[in-house]
Chain A
Amino acid sequence: MTPYKSTSIKPSEITPQEVFYNRRHFLQLATGAALAGLLPSGVLAGETLANVKKATEILPDQLTPLKDITSYNNFYEFGTAKEDPAINAGSLRTRPWTIAVEGEVNKPKVFDIEELLKLAPLEERIYRLRCVEAWSMVIPWVGYSLAELLKRVEPTGNAKFVEFISLEDPKQMPGQRSATLNWPYREGLRIDEAMQPLTLLAVGLYGEVLPNQNGAPIRLVVPWKYGFKSAKSIVKIRLVEKQPISSWMEAGPSEYGFYSNVNPAVDHPRWTQAKERRIGEFFKRPTLPFNGYADQVAQLYAGMDLTKYF
């Protein structure tokens, strides 16, 4: 297992701070001092997360502004238009929240979100996000490696794959009233992919509690795969022996494979993956194999035909 290698970012590139503070100020006003006093900190979207270790390694890429990260989302549970999640995700209740980790493990357990927030030191990870629709962002997530959680439940030798299941509740998630996908949203990784230190369980963004539209209260981030692989608002993690079928594989088996590694050489059947538009940029930029994380993850796929296992 290779250790997580972070890539350094210049302090000057970090945050459009005015956006950050304005939003926080608004939220503070909106919630009111009384309510804020009743709740533990680190609960509401927009609140600052305490004790986050700043990213040590910085990408040469400019960070995508918080406003864009929170207003341009694919989160079909809240509607299929990019603006929908920001509009509709207010109905998601992120407390109480638990994740059941079960299946091929010695110590299955239901983790409470408060426990998850303290399970391992929170660190900032600046990752590129490449959507299968050929746009991309650079996002400063906050979280810790998924491996931290998996180690605690002790996967058995039969645990070959990990399945992630998102919340299903049409009352909170109005997009689930239409059968756009087969709900609940399901995703999966091979166990070695899940244990790869880059694979992140994220609880925050720009140093703040994860906004609902970005997959609150806890989500997966697998930076070398297309965005849809990173399941949001996770309620269950199952360790299994057989390769799980994800929601997108079910929806379009010829278009969305189990691996879905970012690969400029393998096109989506209906559009090219050779280039991408970085949000905020005019000219398209070439897409990198494994989204630029090849030196950390390419060996996981040694000898595999990536055209076949797309």
Chain B
Amino acid sequence: MSPSEPAAPSARVGTRVGPFVAFFAVALLAAAGAVFEISYWVGLPALAPQVLGTTIGIVGALVAFFVWGWWAPGND
């Protein structure tokens, strides 16, 4: 195929979800993984006080990320 003959979009392509949602899912998975690892420390009563403030900060920021991202006007 030459550059002047771009591939036509297939029907399958046309029905896909947009990249915004896909990246949302990627971010959600990554955040869930990180919070899962951090939650280990929060689950230990003797150690939780050392990480609790930072963990609340992280989780709060994550919620804000997804909320503001969903609410914000699109790039169009």
Genuine A/B complex: no
Residues in A lying within 8 Å of B, measured CB to CB = none
Residues in B lying within 8 Å of A, measured CB to CB = none
